[in-house]
Structure 1
Amino acid sequence: MKNKYLSSLVLSVFCLSTIFNFSSFAIELDEATRTVVLDKTGKTVTLTPEQIKKGKRLFNASCSTCHTGGITKTNPNVGLDPEALSLATPARDNILSLVDYMKNPTTFDGLESIAEIHPSIQSADIFPKMRNLSEDDLYAIAGHILVQPKIVAEKWGGGKIYF
Structure 2
Amino acid sequence: MLQQFSWSTYILSILLSISLCSPGYAIDLDEATLTVPLDTSGKTTILTPEQAKRGKRLFNNTCSQCHNGGITKTNPNIGLDPEGLSLATPPRDNIEGLIDYMKNPTSYDGAESIAELHPSIKSAEIFPKMRNLTDDDLFTIAGHILIQPKVVLEKWGGGKIYY
So what's the TM-score if we normalise by structure 2?
0.88
2:155 corresponds to: 155
1: CA distance, partners of 2:16 / 2:30: 29
2:58 corresponds to: 58
1: CA distance, partners of 2:15 / 2:25: 14
Unaligned runs of 5+ residues in structure 2 are: none
2:79 corresponds to: 79
Letter in 1 for 2:132: N
- Structure showing greater Rg: 1
Distance verdict in 2 for CA 1:16–1:58, change over 3 Å: same
1:43 corresponds to: 43
1:15 deviation in Å? 8.0
2: CA distance, partners of 1:132 / 1:70: 23
2:107 corresponds to: 107
Deviations along 1:15-43, one digit per CA (max 9) or x if unpaired, are: 89647842288761000000000011110
2: CA distance, partners of 1:25 / 1:112: 37
Distance verdict in 2 for CA 1:161–1:123, change over 3 Å: same
1:117 corresponds to: 117
- Between the two proteins, what is the percent identity of the paired residues? 69
Deviations along 1:11-69, one digit per CA (max 9) or x if unpaired, are: 8x958964784228876100000000001111000100000000000000000000010
2:33 corresponds to: 33
1:97 corresponds to: 97
1: CA distance, partners of 2:24 / 2:141: 23
1:135 corresponds to: 135
Letter in 2 for 1:55: G
Distance verdict in 2 for CA 1:79–1:19, change over 3 Å: closer
Distance verdict in 2 for CA 1:123–1:24, change over 3 Å: closer
**For the aligned residues, what is the CA RMSD?**
2.6
